[in-house]
Amino acid sequence: MKIPMSNIRGAIMIAVMTLPLLSQGIAQEAPAAKPTGPAISAEFSLEARHVLVKGSNMHYVDEGEGDPVLFLHGNPTSSYLWRNIIPYATPHGRAIAVDLIGMGKSDKPDIDYRFTTHAEYLEAFIDALELTNITLVVHDWGSALGMDFARRNPDRVKGIVFMEAIVAPAMPIPSYEAMGGAGEFFRNVRTPGVGEEMILQNNMFVEVVLPELGTVRNLTDVERQAYRAPYPTPESRKPTLVWPREVPIAGEPADVLAIIERNGAWLHETSIPKLMFYAEPGAFGGPEIAAYFAENLKNIETNYVGPGYHYIQEDHPHMIGRELADWLGRHK
């Protein structure tokens, strides 16, 4: 089934704008103010490294010395998302940003790309680099992966910094109806044939969600091409289709739902130092979620960065970088 581009874009716009208020199903727009501060660079000139993991090469960058600060991205991004933030971390540790398997410059093996498979590759990557005393800096699905790893390996993680995270109370979602207009978008993505047309053929996450709807500022042509480069063919875009099908809605998929629930319980129980960045209105982690975490989590700081939706690293990298550096300096 072929869906007109205008209809797809409209559905995605509803999805992005309504996520901050899923339970009310009310659209909310970001303030008109644009990000301010130092220029945001499109360049990502750090040395590319690769390590063999489960028979495939995973790409990463590795700068600085000391305890590792491990940056984990989500859908449809890569280590490129962290390019303006990494320099703030290197004075305080060994900054490592990995491309999840099948994404960025990592290999694209013929696997299912489900959450549990990504988790296996990520843990194998961490083992291959022999990382301990890790501070996780995580976003989107990288947050769920990072929290899952930390929950299962508490002796290897000393802190967690998260933004726009896939964790309770934003997730899981009880029903498509609870998502308002976003429900139709996710239902379409998860419909066989329809989702393939949207994501594999039209490359919607890369071409529309990220650059058009997920940021306040307009990404440059260089930045758009950097995000586009890993996905030149429909086959290469498989991870970007599987990820939205992993979002726990109405109890499915049950295995991911259970992991997200366990991650949420762990986050509430653990005293590990935490830092949350949030924007207004945000998508998964706006002011209401930040207020909830500030009241209910142990040993957490929250930091407002400004107007934004989901990819706040592209709107406020220097604000995030400066506050991250300060927090790292106080949590050695």
Q: Which of 52, 47, 50 is nearest to 63 (CA)?
A: 47
Q: Which of 59, 92, 139, 140 is catalytic?
A: 140
Count of C-beta atoms within a 10 Å radius of residue 3: 17
- Contact between 292 and 285 under an 8 Å Cβ cutoff? The reply is no
Identify whether 268 is a catalytic site residue.
Answer: no
Altogether, the residues listed in the chain come to a count of: 332
Q: Which of 310, 314, 318, 323 is catalytic?
A: 310
Q: Which residues pair with 300 in a beta bridge?
A: 274
Q: Which of 125, 161, 167, 186 is nearest to 305 (CA)?
A: 161
| Angle (CA) 285 302 173, round 5° | 25
Task: Mention every residue, 6+ apart, whose C-beta is less than 8 A from residue 199.
Answer: 189, 205, 237, 240, 241, 244
Tell me the C-alpha distance between 136 and 54, whole Å.
22
Identify whether 140 is a catalytic site residue.
Answer: yes
- Stretch (H or E) spanning 58: strand 56-63
Q: Which of 59, 73, 92, 164 is catalytic?
A: 164
Tell me the C-alpha distance between 57 and 145, whole Å.
19
Task: Mention every residue, 6+ apart, whose C-beta is less than 8 A from residue 161.
Answer: 135, 136, 137, 138, 274, 275, 276, 277, 324, 327
Q: Which residues pair with 95 in a beta bridge?
A: 63, 69
Burial annotation 153-175 (CB, 10 A radius, 16+ → b, else e): eeebbbbbbbbbbbbbebbbbee
Active site residues: 140, 164, 310
